[in-house]
Structure 1
Amino acid sequence: MSQRQGRAWMLACGTIFHVSLFALALRGRPAVAQEPAVARKAAKASLYLDPAALRLAALTPAPPAPDSAATQAELATLHRIETARSPAQVAAAKADDAEQDIFSYRTVFGAWFQPETLPLTAALSARVHAEEGAASGDLKTVFARPRPYQSDKTLHPVCKLTEAPNSYPSGHTLSGYLLGFTLAEMMPEKKQEILDRADDYAHNRLVCGVHYPSDLEASRRIAFAVFGAMMSNAKFVDDLTAASAELHAQQHAAVAAK
C-alpha cells in the first residue's frame, strides 16, 4: 500500500476518531526521560488545543543523524528530484511556499473558492494555521535538524531559505495537512481530491529543496494526532460547522450562476 493509499484508508475508516482518543489519553502520560534538554522558544498561541498536553516532543522520533546512511539516502533523493524538476513544478512549489492557507486548495474547487466570499472559512483557516506554529515550534527547536541545503552545499533550493537549523518537522507540511483534514471534514464529498492535494503540497517541499522526506512524514503523523485533538474541541467543531455551511452555500451559488 502506498503512502497516499494508506493515508486515504486511515481517514476513510474513521481513524481520526481513534487518534482523537489517543491524543486525549496522552495528557496523563509522563514525559520521556530522554527528551532533548534544549532551550525552547515560546510556543505560539493556540485556540483549539494544548500542544504541551500532547507531549509531541516525547512522542515524535528523532530524525536520522546528519552522518547516517538514512540522511545520505534522503539527500540523494533530493538530488534526483532537483535534476528532474520542470519549470512548471518549480513554479507550483514556489506558489505553495508562499501560500499557507486553506485557499491553496482552490485547485480542487475552482475560482469561486476565494477568501473574499468565504469569510468564515478564511477565519477558520487562519486559526488552524496557527495550530501548526503552536504544535511544531518546540519540535523544531528540540530536534534542531539542519536544512538539506545547509548540510549539502551542492543542492540548489528554489524557495525561501532560512539560516536556522529547523528542518524537522516541516511546518508547511503540517499546516497543509491540518488544513486539508479540516477541509475534508467540511466537504467530505471531495475528500479524496483534497487529500491528494495535501500530498502534493507536502511533496512540493522536496521540489523546493528545503526539506527531507522524513521531515514530511513526521509532519503527516503529527497532523493526525493534532487534528484528532482539535476534533475533540467544541469551539473547533462549532467553527468548522459554520464554515462548512458557508462553503456549501457558496458552492451552490457558484453552480447556479453558471
Structure 2
Amino acid sequence: MTGIAVWTAAVSALALLALGGQAFAQSGQAQPTVTDPHFKIAPGYLARSELPDSLVLLGPPPAAGSAALARDEEARKATIPLRNTERWTLARRDAELAFPQAASAFSCAMGVGIDAARTPRLYAMTQKMLSDFGLSTYGVKNKYNRVRPFVVHDEATCRADQEAILRGDGSYPSGHTAAGWGWALVFAQINPERSNELLARGIAFGQSRVICNAHWQSDVDAGRIMGAATVARLQTNPAFLADLEAARAEVKAAKAKQPALDCAAETAALSGQ
C-alpha cells in the first residue's frame, strides 16, 4: 500500500529529522505507562525528559464520523485481499520486535546481515533505539487509548499471540511504525548508498501494521512523525553519535566480505503490497 498520503507522511517525517538540534523535550507531564514490553528490551540513549513529546507534536486521533476516520476504514479495507498472502506473512514477521528478528527485518535493505555475530555494534544500537522510538509514542497513546481496528471489527490480527497486549495498548500512534521508520532513517545515515532501499523498507514496515489489522493508517502516519522526531533528538546524543560512526565502519567492513543475502522471498512479498 503506497498511496500519496503515505508518502506525504514520510516526507513530513523527514522534515522533522532536519530539526535535529532543536529541543523536543517532554513538557513536564507524568511519566507514561508503557504497556508493550518490547520497548523495555534495552535502555535507550535518551532519558525520558529528552524524548520528543507526542502531546505537542500530534493532535488527537480521527473523530467518529470524520473524513479522516473514513480514510482509515478505506485503508483497512484495501488490505483485506492481502490476508494470508506472502505480504501478510511478512507483516507477521514485521510484528515481532523481539531480537534477533527485529534487527534482521532490515538486513536485505541494508545489504548485509544485521545480527549479533556479523554487525554487533549495529545490532546493539538497534536494540537501544527501539526503546527511544517506542517510548516517544506513549504520551498520546495513554491520553487517547484508541481502540485498534481488529477490536472494533471483531477480527483477528496476523499475530494472535500478541492480541492480548494490543487490546490494552493504545493504537494511536503506532510504536512499531515509530521504530521501523526511525531505524530506516538511521540506517540510511549509516549506509547512504542503500538509502532508497532502507527508506522503502521503513515505509513498508509501518504499512505492515495496517496489513496486520493491528493499526489504523492514521496511527502509522503519526508513528512516522514520532520516529523521525526521535531520530532528530538522537543527533545531539554523544553516545548515539559514537555508535553511529562505529556502525558505519562496521557495515562498510561487512559489505566488503559478506556474500549476497537471499532476499527473493522478501522482494516477492513487497511487490504485492
* TM-score, normalised with respect to structure 1: 0.82
User: Hey, what's the Cα distance between the residues in 1 that align with 2:13 and 2:70?
Assistant: 30
Give the helix-richer structure, 1 or 2: 1
Larger Rg: 1
1:88-147 deviation line (CA, Å, top 9, x unaligned): 111111111124633211122456443321111111111111112321233311221011
Aligned equivalent of 1:48: 45
Query: Against the structure 1 CA distance between its residues 60 and 16, is the aligned structure 2 distance closer, same or farther, given a 3 Å change threshold?
Result: closer
The one of 201, 204, 212 aligned to 1:200: 204
Query: Against the structure 1 CA distance between its residues 112 and 50, is the aligned structure 2 distance closer, same or farther, given a 3 Å change threshold?
Result: closer
Query: Against the structure 1 CA distance between its residues 227 and 38, is the aligned structure 2 distance closer, same or farther, given a 3 Å change threshold?
Result: closer
Partners of 2:13 and 2:228 within 8 A in 1 = no
Partners of 1:148 and 1:211 within 8 A in 2 = yes
Partners of 1:39 and 1:141 within 8 A in 2 = no
RMSD between aligned residues: 3.0
User: Hey, what's the Cα distance between the residues in 2 that align with 1:10 and 1:175?
Assistant: 13
Once the two structures are superposed, the pairs formed by residues 20-35 of structure 1 within 5 Å of their partners are: 20-22=20-22, 24=23, 26-27=24-25
Aligned equivalent of 2:18: 18
Unaligned runs of 5+ in 2: 261-273
- Give the partner amino acid of 1:20: G
Once the two structures are superposed, the pairs formed by residues 103-122 of structure 1 within 5 Å of their partners are: 103-110=104-111, 112-122=113-123
User: Hey, what's the Cα distance between the residues in 2 that align with 1:106 and 1:76?
Assistant: 32
Identical-residue share of aligned pairs (%): 23
Q: Does 2:226 match 1:222?
A: yes
User: Hey, what's the Cα distance between the residues in 1 that align with 2:225 and 2:69?
Assistant: 19
1:215-250 deviation line (CA, Å, top 9, x unaligned): 011011111211101011111100111111111111
Aligned equivalent of 2:254: 250
Partners of 2:171 and 2:216 within 8 A in 1 = yes
Query: Against the structure 1 CA distance between its residues 9 and 88, is the aligned structure 2 distance closer, same or farther, given a 3 Å change threshold?
Result: same
| Structure 1 residue 169, shift from structure 2 partner | 0.7
User: Hey, what's the Cα distance between the residues in 2 that align with 1:203 and 1:110?
Assistant: 21
Query: Against the structure 1 CA distance between its residues 128 and 157, is the aligned structure 2 distance closer, same or farther, given a 3 Å change threshold?
Result: same
Q: Does 2:130 match 1:142?
A: no
Aligned equivalent of 2:191: 187
Unaligned runs of 5+ in 1: 32-36
* TM-score, normalised with respect to structure 2: 0.77
Query: Against the structure 1 CA distance between its residues 38 and 212, is the aligned structure 2 distance closer, same or farther, given a 3 Å change threshold?
Result: farther
Partners of 1:112 and 1:251 within 8 A in 2 = no
User: Hey, what's the Cα distance between the residues in 2 that align with 1:92 and 1:196?
Assistant: 14
Partners of 2:111 and 2:255 within 8 A in 1 = no
- Give the partner amino acid of 2:122: T
The range that moved more, 110-119 or 194-203, is 110-119
User: SS at 1:114's partner residue?
Assistant: coil
Query: Against the structure 1 CA distance between its residues 113 and 58, is the aligned structure 2 distance closer, same or farther, given a 3 Å change threshold?
Result: closer
User: Hey, what's the Cα distance between the residues in 2 that align with 1:67 and 1:5?
Assistant: 23
Query: Against the structure 1 CA distance between its residues 9 and 163, is the aligned structure 2 distance closer, same or farther, given a 3 Å change threshold?
Result: closer
| Structure 1 residue 39, shift from structure 2 partner | 8.9
Aligned equivalent of 1:4: 7
User: SS at 1:19's partner residue?
Assistant: coil
User: Hey, what's the Cα distance between the residues in 1 that align with 2:64 and 2:235?
Assistant: 36
Partners of 2:88 and 2:211 within 8 A in 1 = yes
